[in-house]
Amino acid sequence: MEDFDYVIVGAGSAGCVLANRLSADGKYTVALLEAGGSDLNFWVRMPIGYGKAFYHDTLNWKYLSEPVPGFGGRQSYWPRGKVLGGSSSINAMVFIRGQAADFDGWRALGNPGWGFADVLPAFKRMENNLSGADALRGTGGPITVTNIENVVHPLCENYLAGGIEAGLTRNPDFNGATQEGIGIYQITTQNGFRCSTATAYLAPARKRANLRVIKAAHATRILFEGKRATGVEYRQGAEVRQVRARREVILSAGAVNTPQLLQLSGVGDPDLLKRHGIAVVHAADQVGRNLQDHIGFDHLYASRRPTLNDVLRPWWGRLAVGLRYVLTRSGPLSLSVNQGGGFFRTGPERTRPNMQLYFSPISYTRAIPGRRALMSPDPFSGFLVGVSNCHPTSRGDLAIRSADPFTAPKIQPNYLATDEDVQELLEAAHFLRRLAATGPMRAIIEHEIRPGADILDDEALIADIRERSGSVFHPCGTAAMGPDPATSVVDPRLRVHGLDGLRVVDASIFPRITSGNLNAPTIMVGEKGADLILADAG
């Protein structure tokens, strides 16, 4: 058995941050276990390649939820990164920190040090915003954030003008003074390549003698001596191996694999553990509960003007943009298809934005739930305008199915379980119709394909929402942070309640989901977690 000061499970959005920060001064030895393999993959490095990575057999865990009652019994597809960089290596790269009120809400729940003023230094430290630094934005950090306003598809102008006509204000920076308004997303790319935590944080650290990265290492259980975590057992090929942690074991395996590993290791609901023959190390009913995720749907339109469909559908178009990308690292393949964005309130009674907007100058059918065949769009000019909820009130749960660590857990996200979630998405559907009716949007819309002109009344729109909504791949909250062990899993310093030498540092600690895409706040949790660990060590 090898000994390290810190053993980190999961080289994802937070784990790569920890590996870098904890090994930086050479004082501590660090082992980083990753179930997946190298991120040196074309579909990872090329930004638009995430369309392939979403269903890649070796880059992705490819989870499926249980049938969701609110979706009429449909399952939800959950892509999760199984590769260095984790989901930051397969996501759509949109950089959104969240609203200040999100983090102030965390603090109000009994988590001192997690208000927006507290986490802002970590947000600024982690980024290299190519548009420059100010009181709210940082430069010189590992994660490069690129402004793509000057290179987006021309139809984005119609989208922006339509949004302003519909009552939204132009917002040049969703990570600035306010998140509200309509604009163009910033993305995590650098020189035409994806900027994941593997490239930004881990690659510079791998030359350090005190950091060991162990790939293809599937963690099977946490090792305990009494109530203290002392190491991790993992499977690598046919071999079962162990690493020992002199100081701490840190779980950064994500909102699915972190609670799964806790339960497999005897930390969870005692009834669940006993049912699967697992000895109870520590009773913690909240492990796997408080599951939250954003869901959304698109309105699909046939376009009067050319879209990315006309570029990416014919073979000669793909060849042209492929050559352009290879030679110049520019063009459509260097971007996300989520180009236009926005945040708005679905009603005047809302005190802050509760809905996110997406404009994609491309359209595609989804033969498999959640699949976006980005390089094989529809054979006609088309585009999408989508929405997703910022603050869902529905809560789900996650639980192991057996003591076999290679069996995927049971995931029940419980989407649309509350009337509030249904109502605000209905209001969002009405807003999309208002947006489509503006002059700039009418100029480019040939006709609405989905939900279709015959879907008019609230009952029909709600039926469409239940039929076509899906995850936007932001699960969190399954090992929630809080002061009370009866309602949370980790304390405000991210230590697992009731145990020693064990922390969780990833999106599973979110007590409430943040507004927008989760990669940036998860990286922030990695930075903040590293600060806490080093402070407690020294």
Angle between helices 15-23 and 519-537 (to 10 degrees): 30
Asked whether the beta carbons of 300 and 363 are under 8 A apart, the reply is yes
Maximum Cα interatomic distance, the chain, rounded to a whole number of Å: 68
As annotated, the active-site residues are: 474
- What Å distances lie between residue 510 and 13, 265, 348, 447, 491, CA to CA? 14, 22, 28, 41, 11
Q: Contact 82/408 with Cβ under 8 angstroms?
A: no
Cβ burial, residue 358 (10 Å; 0-12/13-18/19+): buried
Rounded-to-integer distance, Cα 280 and Cα 270, Å: 6
Residue at 261: amino acid letter: L
Instruction: For the chain, count helices (H), then strands (E).
Output: 16, 25
The string of DSSP codes covering 344-387 is E-SSTT-SS--EEEEEES-----SSTT---TTS--SS-EEEEEE
Q: Are 464 and 428 in contact (CB under 8 A)?
A: no
- Amino acid, res. 314: P
One-character DSSP codes across 63-108: EEPPPBGGGTTB--EE--B-BTTGGGGTS--B-----HHHHHHHHH
Residue-by-residue DSSP string for 10-28: --STTHHHHHHHHHTTSSS
C-beta separation of 472 from 341 below 8 A = no
Distance CA 392, CA 421 (A): 6
Q: Provide the token pair at 100.
A: 């200040």
Residue type, 384: L
Q: CA of 42: how far to CAs of 193, 194, 254, 344, 350, in Å?
A: 10, 10, 24, 36, 43
* Residues 475 and 464 sit within 8 Å (Cβ to Cβ): no
Integer Cα distance of 47 and 188 in angstroms: 9
Q: Which DSSP symbol is given to 169?
A: P
Closest to 271 (Cα-Cα) out of 396, 400, 397, 414: 400
Cα separation, 247 vs 519, whole angstroms:
28
**Vertex 132, ends 128 and 134: CA angle to 5°?**
105
